[in-house]
Amino acid sequence: MSLVAPLVVSLREGIEIALIIAVMASYLRKSGQMPLARYVMAGTLMAVVGSIGIALLMAAIWGEFEGPGLDVFEGVVVISAAVLLTTMILWMWKMGPSVGPDIEASMKQRARAGSSIGLVLLSFALILREGVELVLFSMALAIEDATQTYLGVSLGLLLAFAAGVGIYQGSLRISLRTFFRWTSIFLVLFAAGMVSYGIQELQDGGLLLIGSLQVWDINPLLDENGLIGGLAKALFGYDGNPSALMVVGYVSYLFIVAVYYGLNKRHVNHVVHPSTLEAAVIAAKE
């Protein structure tokens, strides 16, 4: 399995976390309330601990399954991760321009009320959501290769941390719009592969008894366990000998996302508008 998939997923999640913190810091600095930043950091640390706790709980549950039950559990995890990943992408496509202002409005309400608990809970909820997403994605990827997954996730988070610091300090200039657009395209293809793989796991576990007929076998031409085929499998869910239901799931997923894109193209063209998140990052260092 390639490091690319877990690295890209964790890099994107990590940068989203960095941007959330930057927006909060921006408001507190502009409003002269930086002493309240300790409550934001407290909520962030609680979210990190909570995410680790959820990861350990999920790992413990995972260890209780074996045989066909394990296949079904893994299939459910993979498809759930694909659904969550897709929801995240579609939400960002539609709501991206309002993310910064929404967070600032929530910060303003709690800061004016002097609610330290409110600030802790706000940062906790926002960061925990990203953490839970990353935990679920990591579990789905670890099914095939745990070592590569954890290494890729670690590298992605380190790069995200470095990028966040660089953006905040002004030493790194990147187009967030371009970053989120291209990672969204990659993640859509990746999620399609997750849907297909999840269906395979459910079929192996005996939960899905339809569409198990093998459609083709092109492994002699492009072996899914070879270098190129293995990379395509890790990144886009390539399968040299898929079942009919796997193909239907893969194609149907891409069709649904494409239709959504077409219906919401006006919103998609303004994903992560510079006047929101990027402006918040710039303002945070002034």
HEC per residue, 34-81: HHHHHHHHHHHHHHHHHHHHHHHHHHHHHCCCCCHHHHHHHHHHHHHH
What pLDDT was estimated at residue 27? 82
pLDDT tens digits, one per residue of 67-125 = 899 999 999 999 998 998 898 888 777 666 566 677 778 887 887 777 788 889 999 99
Domain count, the chain: 1
- Cα distances from 89 to residues 18, 95, 185, 249, 282, in angstroms, run 17, 10, 9, 19, 24
Q: For tokens 């202002």, what's the residue?
A: 101
Band (pLDDT 50/70/90 cuts) for residue 276 is: very low
HEC per residue, 76-128: HHHHHHHHHHHHHHHHHHHHHHHHHHHHHHHHHHHHHCCCHHHHHHHHHHHHH
Length in residues, the chain: 286
Q: What is the pTM of this model?
A: 0.80
Mean pLDDT over 127-145 rounds to 88
Higher pLDDT, 176 or 138: 138
Please report, to the nearest 10 degrees, the dihedral formed by the alpha carbons of residues 275, 280, 284, 286 taken in order. Answer: 10
Expressed as residue numbers, the domain containing 166 is: 4-284
Neighbours of 225 (CB within 10 A): 9
For 138, the 3-state DSSP assignment is: helix
pLDDT tens digits, one per residue of 202-221 = 999 988 888 889 999 998 98
Band (pLDDT 50/70/90 cuts) for residue 284 is: very low
Average pLDDT, the chain: 83
Band (pLDDT 50/70/90 cuts) for residue 1 is: low
